[in-house]
C-alpha cells in the first residue's frame, strides 16, 4: 500500500497548480482546503474494533502475473482487489482486470481472444492468492471496447473456460461496451467472489 507521506506528496503536487473556482469550492467543502486555501490534515479514521469501525479489509495481490496500479510511473489509485469478512463468509472484490503483465504492460496487442485468456489468468491468480477459485465467483461485469465486433469471440471463450471449469451454476454477469483506461486494452473484467471465511487454504 502506498505510504501516507507519498499520498500527501501526490496531493500537494496535484494542488500545485491554478485551481478553478469550482475545484477550489469542492476541495473546501470536502475539508481538504481551509477557506484561505491551506491544505488541511485528513480526518482520523474510526478506531479499529470499536462501534462504527470500518470493516477490516485486506488488499489482494498476485505479483507473479500483474503489478499494482500504484506502482505505475503515473500511479493509479486502486488496488487489484479487496478481501473482507461478513459473518462466516469472506467476500473478494476483484477490480477491473485486463491483459496486463507483471511489469504493468499491456500484452497481446490487437488479439482479443489472447487478451481475454490473459485476463482470466490474472483473475485466477488473484483468486488463488486468497484460497479461492472460479467456483466462488458469484458475479462478473465484463467491459468490451467493441461489443459488436468482439462479443461472439468473448462468449465463445467465456463459455469454453467456464465449461472446462465445470461451473454450475454460472456466475451472474453483465456485458457492457466501454472505453477502457488504455486504448490497447480490448476487454476488462471485474468479479465478486464469496467463500467460507478463511478460504480453502
Taking only the tens place, the pLDDT of each residue in 101-132 is 888 899 999 999 999 999 999 999 999 999 99
- With 0-12 / 13-18 / 19 or more C-beta atoms within 10 angstroms meaning exposed / middle / buried, residue 159 is exposed
Segment 66-76, tens digit of pLDDT = 766 555 555 56
**Domains, the chain, ordered by start:** 1-45 (no CATH), 58-196 (3.30.1330.40)
Maximal CA-CA distance, the chain: 61
- Is a pLDDT exceeding 70 seen at residue 43? yes
pLDDT on residue 1: 40
| Concatenated DSSP letters of 64-82 | TT---GGGSSS--S--SEE
| Total count of residues recorded for the chain | 201
For the chain, the helix, strand and coil percentages under 3-state DSSP, each to the nearest 5: 30, 20, 45
Amino acid at each position: 500500500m502506498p505510504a501516507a507521506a507519498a499520498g500527501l506528496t501526490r496531493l500537494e503536487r496535484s494542488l500545485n497548480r491554478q485551481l478553478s473556482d469550482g475545484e477550489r469550492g469542492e476541495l473546501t467543502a470536502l475539508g481538504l482546503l481551509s477557506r484561505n486555501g491551506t491544505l488541511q490534515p485528513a480526518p482520523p479514521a474510526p478506531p479499529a474494533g470499536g462501534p462504527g469501525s470500518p470493516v477490516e479489509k485486506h488488499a489482494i495481490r498476485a505479483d507473479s502475473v500483474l503489478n499494482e496500479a500504484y506502482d505505475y510511473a503515473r500511479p493509479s489509485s486502486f488496488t487489484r482487489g479487496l478481501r473482507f469478512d461478513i459473518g462466516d463468509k469472506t467476500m473478494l472484490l476483484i477490480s477491473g482486470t485486463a491483459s496486463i503483465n507483471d511489469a504493468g504492460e499491456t500484452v497481446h496487442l490487437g488479439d482479443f481472444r489472447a487478451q481475454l485468456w490473459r485476463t482470466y489468468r490474472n483473475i485466477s491468480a488473484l483468486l488463488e492468492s486468497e484460497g479461492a477459485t472460479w467456483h466462488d465467483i458469484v458475479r462478473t461485469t465484463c467491459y468490451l471496447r467493441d461489443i459488436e465486433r468482439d462479443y461472439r469471440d468473448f462468449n465463445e471463450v467465456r463459455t469454453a473456460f467456464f465449461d472446462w471449469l465445470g461451473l454450475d451454476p454460472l456466475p451472474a454477469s453483465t456485458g457492457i461496451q466501454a472505453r477502457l483506461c488504455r486504448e490497447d486494452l480490448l476487454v476488462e473484467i471485474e468479479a465478486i467472489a464469496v467463500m467460507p471465511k478463511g478460504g480453502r487454504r
